[in-house]
Amino acid sequence: MGVGSVRSVGDAAAGVEVRAVGSIEDVDAVFGVRGDPAHCWCVWDRVTGKEFDELDDAAKRERLAVRLRADGPAAGVIATVDGERVGWCSVAPRAEFGRVGRGWSTSSPQTAGDDPGVWSVTCFVVRPGFRRGGVADALLVGAIEHARAGGARILEAYPVDTSGQKAPSANLYRGTLSQFAAQGFEVVATPRPGRAIVRLAL
């Protein structure tokens, strides 16, 4: 299944199409100007805490824009509904995300090491008005196909386990464990209660 041909992940995702991100304008349409995405620009996992604090929103956006203009596989996928851009998923080689290997919820001795064949899904953003409609599930399917097409051998992610105590909505940008389990990902580490590291062999 090509990235551009993801149309259904169950009935809820019917009508959602997913493709590789083309430009920063794709991301602009999803992130908007308010809320966490508009202040992060998917830079959090790519820089140190000190760098993140020193960069203003415009500089963070430009960091992502430079990455999107680079040669090689795109840094994520975009979901559209009737041509309208409604969701984003960050997926790229794990080596791009320096903080992932150090984070309290994203690192573990079981997954340590610099393996160029490992890619990471680090976040989902779905616009208000399009949530709970299968967009995130379709984005994950598109991310899997994008990673496979880019040469990844393993796709890794850092979801929240929502089966126990309810997680704050601000933490759900990593995705949920049930969402990844539905696509065949397996838990390989639990760095903290309620958090998991999951992998899918491609």
Report which of residues 129 and 140 the model is more confident about.
Answer: 140
The CA-CA-CA angle for residues 70, 73, 77, to 5°, reads 105
Q: Decide if pLDDT at 163 tops 90.
A: no
Whether residue 121 is predicted with pLDDT greater than 60 in this model: the reply is: yes
Burial class (CB in 10 A: 0-12, 13-18, 19+), 106: buried
pLDDT at position 4:
36
Mean pLDDT for 118-142 is 92
**What CATH code would you report for 3-201?**
3.40.630.30
- In this structure, the strands spanning 16-20 and 84-93 are unpaired
The DSSP call for residue 49 is: H
Mean pLDDT of the region 146-154:
96
Give the residue extent of every domain in the chain: 3-201
User: Strand 195-201 relative to strand 118-126: parallel, antiparallel, unpaired?
Assistant: unpaired
* pLDDT attached to residue 149: 95
Q: Does 3 have pLDDT greater than 60?
A: no
What separation in angstroms does the CA of 138 have from each of 11, 83, 114, 180, 181? 11, 15, 29, 11, 14
Alpha-carbon span 50 to 35, nearest angstrom: 21
Q: What is the mean pLDDT of the chain?
A: 88
Q: What is the pLDDT of residues 52-110, one digit of tens each?
A: 999 999 999 999 999 999 998 999 999 999 889 999 999 999 999 999 998 888 999 88
Give the pLDDT mean for 6-30.
74
Q: Are 43 and 52 in contact (CB under 8 A)?
A: yes
Longest dimension (CA), the chain: 44
What confidence category does residue 162 fall into, taking pLDDT thresholds of 50, 70 and 90? confident
pLDDT band at 117 (very low <50, low <70, confident <90, very high): very high
Q: What is the mean pLDDT of residues 14-34?
A: 90
**Contact by Cβ (8 Å): 111, 158:** no
| Dihedral sign (CA 54, 58, 64, 69) | negative
Q: What is the pTM (predicted TM-score) of this model?
A: 0.89
pLDDT band at 169 (very low <50, low <70, confident <90, very high): low
Residue 183: which residues within 8 A CB-CB, separation 6 or more? Answer: 140, 141, 144, 200
CA–CA distance, 75 with 197 (Å, rounded to integer):
20
